[in-house]
């Protein structure tokens, strides 16, 4: 197990609801095309504002997955 190699990609998930929802959206999308997603790390939390309210959160993530 110790000689596994992982790849890390950067994705941005967005959500009108919450930071956690933005993370889930990004990971669900990454999971559609890659296998063995194992972890994530939040790089940045930003967002868009309209009429004095958060329109949506944008969460920049590093996502790591094991290469076969």
**Interstrand relation of 37-50 and 53-66 (parallel, antiparallel or unpaired):** antiparallel
Cα-based torsion angle of the residue sequence 37, 39, 44, 47 in order, rounded to the nearest 10 degrees: 50
Q: How far is the CB of 19 from a second copy (least distance, A)?
A: 6
Q: How far is the CB of 16 from a second copy (least distance, A)?
A: 5
Distance CA 35, CA 20 (A): 21
x/- binding map, residues 9-38, to a second copy, per CB under 8 A? xxxxxxxx-xxx--xxxxxxxxxx----xx
The binding site for a second copy (CB under 8 A) comprises 1-16, 18-20, 23-32, 37-42, 44-49, 51-57, 60, 62-64, 67
């Amino acid at each position: 197990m110790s000689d596994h190699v992982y790849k890390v990609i950067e994705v941005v998930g967005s959500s009108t609801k919450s930071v956690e929802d933005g993370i889930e959206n990004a990971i669900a999308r990454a999971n559609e095309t890659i296998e063995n997603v194992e972890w994530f790390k939040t790089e940045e939390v930003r967002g868009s504002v309209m009429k004095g309210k958060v329109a949506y959160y944008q969460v920049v993530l590093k996502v790591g997955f094991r290469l076969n």
